[in-house]
Amino acid sequence: VFPFIKILCLKMVLSHHLTSANLLEPQRASGLFFKQARCASIKRNVKKDWSDHALWWEKKKTWLLKTHWTLDKYGIQADARLLFTPQHKLLRLQLPNMKHMRVKVNFSDRVFKAVSDICKTFNIRHPEELSLLRKPRDPKKKKKKLEEAEEEALELEGPLLTPGSGTPGLYSKTMTPTYDSRDGSPLSPTTAWFGDSPLSEGNPSILAVSQPITSPDILVKMYKPQSLLDKAKLNQGWLDSSRSLMEHDVKENEVLLLRFKYHSFFDLNPKYDAIRVNQLYEQAKWAILLEEIECTEEEMMMFAALQYHINKLSIMSSDNHMNNSEKEVDEVDAALSDLEITLEGGKTSNTLGDITSIPELADYVKVFKPKKLTLKGYKQYWCTFKDITISCYKSREEAHGTPAHQMNLRGCEVTPDVNISGQKFNIKLLIPVADGMNEIWLRCDAEKQYAQWMAACRLATKGKTMADSSYNLEVQNILSFLKMQHMNPDPQIIEPITIDINPECLVSPRYLKKYKNKQISARILEAHQNVAQMSLIEAKMRFIQAWQSLPEFGITHFLGGKKDELIGITYNRLIRMDSSTGDAIKTWRFSNMKQWNVNWEIKMVTVEFADEPSLAFICAEVDCKVVHEFIGGYIFLSTRAKDQNESLDEEMFYKLTSGWV
């Protein structure tokens, strides 16, 4: 190209000189031009900044970043092919809200560090909860379409923010509130909201404000896992956090998914986390709509009503913010709002019980222990819940004698089975034993009884009693979750059906096939009455809370062990699961774990426990490093505490997740 440009410029120079009064000879003119062009080229190359460039050894997949090393020390021979390339390259990120953004990412940094820089750019706290995932391919589609060209993309100019270059105190717990706690809108202009972030030049509303799904065709085109095996295949695409993007063969402008990888959300505060809350809400919304997580019909209508409410308030909030950007918020009211709507909190009781005694539950509860080829139903017992143990007696009068059944719930699986309209309040318990899991079902008669027993069971699985401060809070959360699923008995106060409901964009395809659009719209409006008084940020927090209450929440599936079995990993345990039904066969808690090892050659993960047989499974169709990282990552997240500073201990993360390859 450059010789062609020189010839073209030479012709222009010669034509200029030939038409001028003082004509020069063509040979003299061309010689003069080449001298000028050479000087200009040298001058231009001197000015170019090469500081971002580095050498990449493609064969060994490694960056030569230690510039004080010689090539011989790296083991490079004369025939080695090295690439001199920029470290920062453009990457297309699909955020949890399904919007695409182009950002400049350091391809020589480890993925963990790159994600931290991305989250700092987007003003998302606790980046250790997120990671990058390769886009799953729909096996039904044979031809790979250029989806990137069809998606919207926001170009972000400039490099990523480096730690410390943004607004001072951006992640400080004592910083000035960044968002209005009541509606999630920014309290300050965009430049102060994002500091020096490149987003201040773009459109930040797509990150902090939920945008409704505009067309049902969007849902139709997106990939939906049909079984647990499909869900397990989705998790094959997680990138190794201890390697760089170039080591993963990620190309410039390639599409990667930014997602919340670890379902353990720490210090979720709407005062500082409007973007984080919104992106969490979006990830939960799409997981439900694409049927990545199962929910009942009543729960689906509750989620749809919350979506409808959030969509309406988002439009109103953006309009109000444009008209009143200088509004003032009383700090005391904002603090009270935070206390009410944080994920871990609702309205706590002001009355304190006797802290010297441990509360107990005692009531008639129906108990069912399923066995093969059995036709017997539930049998009523007088049950007492003390500490972390349930004792079942044939009658109340025999409560001081020997119980007919006794269950220690430490480490058990607790699954709700609730149908509000059918007045069914069941609790499924899977209690670990030496050869697997004992299945026990408890049936409660009313919502209050169910909430108390369910909260006690959840605490008992963690080894906590009802004396724990979170017990009353857990009861209130369960009751509020049930209240949102109630059908409105008074049809007169239900608003008329309007066109903007668009039920095809609010419920999953399964229920669209089951009911007509008018029926779904009517049920959504009926369920909306239970959430109509919520503020925007509270509705998002309630949506996230309801998502966390689903039985399958937080379970990451992997193909492992036998052909008909899966390995599930959550924030506190490992589960061996039946791949066809999803039932837990055996559960192991991280708190009982001594160590875990990986045989990289045969892809086997071995986990040793304190008082149980060790667990060993083969990682089928997935890199065992991904499974290893999930276990170590959750253990790393469990070490976080509110009294710590906000800085991440990267070295500890790598020690727990990297392994020895």
Which stretch, 45-54, 150-159, 255-264, has highest mean pLDDT? Answer: 255-264
Q: Which of the four CATH numbers 3.20.20.10, 2.30.29.30, 3.40.605.10, 1.20.1260.10 does domain 556-659 have?
A: 2.30.29.30
Write the Ramachandran bin of 99: left for phi over 0, alpha for psi from -120 to 50, otherwise beta: beta
- Bridge partners of residue 428, in order along the sequence: 415, 441
At residue 83, the pLDDT reads 94
Q: Is the pLDDT of residue 172 over 90?
A: no
At residue 353 the predicted structure's pLDDT band, cuts being 50, 70 and 90, is: very low
Q: What whole-number distance in Å separates Cα of residue 79 and Cα of residue 82?
A: 9
Q: Is the pLDDT of residue 247 over 80?
A: yes
Sequence-separated (6 or more) residues with CB below 8 Å from residue 499: none
Task: Give the pLDDT mean for 6-33.
Answer: 41
At residue 212, the pLDDT reads 85
Q: Is the pLDDT of residue 32 over 70?
A: no
Which stretch, 133-137, 369-373, 379-383, 578-582, has highest mean pLDDT? Answer: 379-383
Q: Which residues of 402-411 are buried (b: 16+ CB within 10 A; e: fewer)?
A: ebeeebebbb
Q: Is the pLDDT of residue 471 over 80?
A: yes
pLDDT in tens, 498-550: 546 888 899 998 898 888 989 999 999 999 999 999 999 999 999 999 999 99
At residue 209 the predicted structure's pLDDT band, cuts being 50, 70 and 90, is: confident
At residue 341, the pLDDT reads 56
Side-by-side strand order, sheet with 130-134: 130-134, 255-260, 88-94, 100-106, 153-155
Which amino acid, one-letter code, is at 194?
Answer: F
Q: What is the dihedral of CA 411, 412, 417, 420, to 10 degrees?
A: -50
Retrieve residue 542's tokens: 């309630």
Percent of the chain residues past pLDDT 90, beyond the cut? 40
Sign, CA torsion 610/611/613/615: negative
At residue 20 the predicted structure's pLDDT band, cuts being 50, 70 and 90, is: very low
At residue 433, the pLDDT reads 79
Q: Is the pLDDT of residue 165 over 90?
A: no
At residue 136, the pLDDT reads 80
User: Quick count: other Cβ atoms within 10 Å of Cβ 375?
Assistant: 4
Task: Give the pLDDT mean for 240-244.
Answer: 95
> Would you call 154 exposed, middle or buried from its count of C-beta atoms within 10 A (0-12, 13-18, 19+)?
middle
Mean pLDDT estimate for the chain: 79
Architecture of domain 1-20+31-86: Roll (3.10)
- For residue 660, the number of C-alpha atoms closer than 13 Å in the C-beta half-sphere is 3
Angle at 29 between CA 27 and CA 33, to 5 degrees: 115
Task: Give the pLDDT mean for 609-614.
Answer: 83
Q: What whole-number distance in Å separates Cα of residue 603 and Cα of residue 233?
A: 17
Q: What whole-number distance in Å separates Cα of residue 175 and Cα of residue 192?
A: 13
pLDDT in tens, 211-227: 888 888 888 888 888 88
Rg (CA), the chain: 30
At residue 432, the pLDDT reads 83
At residue 216, the pLDDT reads 83
Are the CB atoms for 273 and 537 separated by under 8 Å?
A: no
Task: Give the pLDDT mean for 10-26.
Answer: 41
Domain topology for 359-466: PH-domain like (2.30.29)
At residue 410, the pLDDT reads 86
Angle at 351 between CA 349 and CA 354, to 5 degrees: 125
Which stretch, 67-81, 129-143, 431-445, has highest mean pLDDT? Answer: 67-81
At residue 53 the predicted structure's pLDDT band, cuts being 50, 70 and 90, is: very high
Same fold, 1-20+31-86 and 556-659: no
pLDDT in tens, 289-342: 999 999 999 999 999 999 999 999 988 776 665 454 444 445 555 555 555 555
DSSP 108-128: TSBHHHHHHHHHHHHT-S-GG
pLDDT in tens, 97-138: 998 889 999 999 999 999 999 998 888 999 999 999 998 876
SS (H, E, C) 198-267: HHHHCCCHHHHCCCCCCCHHHHHHCCCCCCHHHHHHHHHHECCCCCECHHHCCCCCCEEEEEECCCCCCC
pTM for the complete prediction?
0.80
> Domain boundaries in the chain?
1-20+31-86, 359-466, 556-659
Q: Is the pLDDT of residue 427 over 90?
A: yes
